[in-house]
Amino acid sequence: MQEMEIMEMFRKTGAYRQGHFKLSSGMHSGAYLQCALVLQNPIVAARLCSSLANKFAADTPDVVIGPALGGVVIAYELARALGARAIFSERDETGTMKLRRGFRVSPSSKVLVAEDVLTTGRSVKEVLALLKEDGVTPVGIAALVDRAGQKMDFGGIRHEGLIKLNIPTFDPANCPLCQEGLPLEKPGSRKE
């Protein structure tokens, strides 16, 4: 799939929004990608994730893990495309990322980490730390949208986005959108 076709899917479904947003990272941005809107159609989700899976097929992952909430559908569809097992991590009552519901990985597992949008990589880093506790080094990190670019360091683990977008983020103290007085929306799922 071409990036223009993918962006058209995001625009058509309302998954690509413009305005003034507080991201899960706490940073502000003039654009927001609500991947759940593009993923609500299983046929579209399968097409997008199949294209993303092609970037990791040679790594032959046998487990795909995504952080709840954004990475769950992506992990499932990537796992389907790769013939792997799909699991997810989630926060416990203290806010700590954990494997729950009986999910397990072994050090011999070839794990691919899945995420909807990479901006700061905070959730992915929490999943990496969780996997490290079990002696697992993932084969890669797959995201539908990479807002982070190569400035993101995941300890040498390769990360690929289906599309790469350069959308500026702003520290709230120096946000030009705040200075313009634009109303701030917080559409993400993470509680701060």
Instruction: Say what the pLDDT of residue 25 is.
Output: 79
In this structure, are residues 119 and 164 in contact, taking their beta carbons and an 8 Å threshold? no
Instruction: Say what the pLDDT of residue 45 is.
Output: 95
Q: Say whether the peptide bond before residue 69 is cis (omega within 30 degrees of 0).
A: yes
Instruction: Say what the pLDDT of residue 144 is.
Output: 95
For the segment 55-72, the average pLDDT, to the nearest whole number, is 96
pLDDT-wise least confident of 66-75, 116-125, 148-157: 148-157
Structural Rg of the chain based on CA atoms: 16
Instruction: Choose among 127, 162, 157, 125: nearest CA to 145.
Output: 162
Q: What pTM was estimated for this model as a whole?
A: 0.89
How far is residue 70's CA from residue 19's CA, in Å, rounded to a whole number?
A: 21
Amino acid at position 185, single letter: E
Instruction: Choose among 121, 112, 154, 144: nearest CA to 6.
Output: 144
* CA dist list (Å): 16 to 33, 60, 121: 5, 31, 19
Question: Which domains are assigned to the chain?
Answer: 41-165 (3.40.50.2020)
Instruction: Say what the pLDDT of residue 151 is.
Output: 72
Residue listed under structure tokens 């416990």: 92
For the segment 114-127, the average pLDDT, to the nearest whole number, is 91
Instruction: Say what the pLDDT of residue 46 is.
Output: 96
Share of the chain above pLDDT 90, in %: 79
Could you read off the pLDDT of 137-158 as tens digits, one per residue?
A: 999 999 999 986 657 789 899 9
Instruction: Choose among 162, 110, 154: nearest CA to 136.
Output: 110
